[in-house]
Amino acid sequence: ESTASAFEMAARLGYDGVEIMVWTDPVSQDPEALRRLVDYHGIPILAIHAPCLLLTQRVWGTDPWAKLVRARAVAETLGAPTVVVHPPFRWQRDYAREFVTGIERMAGETDVRFAVENMFPLRARGREVSAYAPDWSPVDDDYAHVTLDLSHTSVSRSDPVAMAGVLGERLVHVHMADGVGSAKDEHLVPGRGTQPCAELLELLATGGFDGTIVVEINTRRAESRAQREADLAEALAFTRLHFAAPSAAGLHHTYG
């Protein structure tokens, strides 16, 4: 559905805010239109996802650095603390060559955090090929801030709990979703796959995580708007329950 619909549903279902994926919907590209939606629905924008998908290769032009500059400007204008960005595609050779140092340089020019997202290798016939450079995983590169996506850890067959432990304070943004370990990026409602969604949320809560947790699920198979909203409500309830679980356990122990 549209960007405007996302605000309306988020407000009605009780979400605290939204992450804006900048894509082909003109409203997602227009900071003034977004500001009007923020004001009307009372829902803040907590992150801007730069247009770095194959589908959005021509959104905001074709220069990847210009896209990040524009995403940063929109984030600053709308008070969003984070810009989510994917690693470069391998064929973007010049961009990939300067990506780690370029992200570091841009991060030093603003209070907005550039959180580089974990992606995944492509698997076919028993082989794995990375479409991203310097790597599909941001864990071993020198990024100050990272986004951890649990649908992507499902595809890459990575352990998100272990990745979170290695990242420590560099982990500032989470895309909460699920998957069953297939080669397809599924973005299931958390709890419907095999990813340790609950365990990660409880680990983050115990560690005092103060970043942003974003429900990022695929609802294209929903047979109706009511089903789409039910999936979004279920994902929100799951995430809130498990992110609060350690505190609830502590209260139970204290008060019997």
List, for residues 28-58, the tens digit of each pLDDT value.
999 999 999 999 999 999 999 999 998 898 9
Residue 110 CB neighbours (<10 A): 14
Tokens 């895309």: give the residue: 175
99: Cβ contacts below 8 Å, ≥ 6 apart: 87, 88, 133, 134
Q: Can you spell out the DSSP letters for 76-102?
A: HHHT--EEEEPPPBTT-HHHHHHHHHH
CATH topology of domain 3-243: TIM Barrel (3.20.20)
Average pLDDT over residues 203-232: 96
Stretch 206-223: mean pLDDT, rounded? 95
Q: What is the value of pTM for the model shown?
A: 0.93
What digits encode the pLDDT tens for the residues 58-96? 999 999 999 999 999 999 999 999 999 999 999 999 999
d(CA 215, CA 174): 8
Assigned token pair, 175: 């895309």
Identify the burial level of 27 via C-beta atoms within 10 angstroms of its C-beta, where 0-12 means exposed, 13-18 middle and 19 or more buried.
middle
**Strands (E) located in 158-211:** 171-176
Rounded to whole angstroms, how far apart are CA atoms 116 and 193? 24
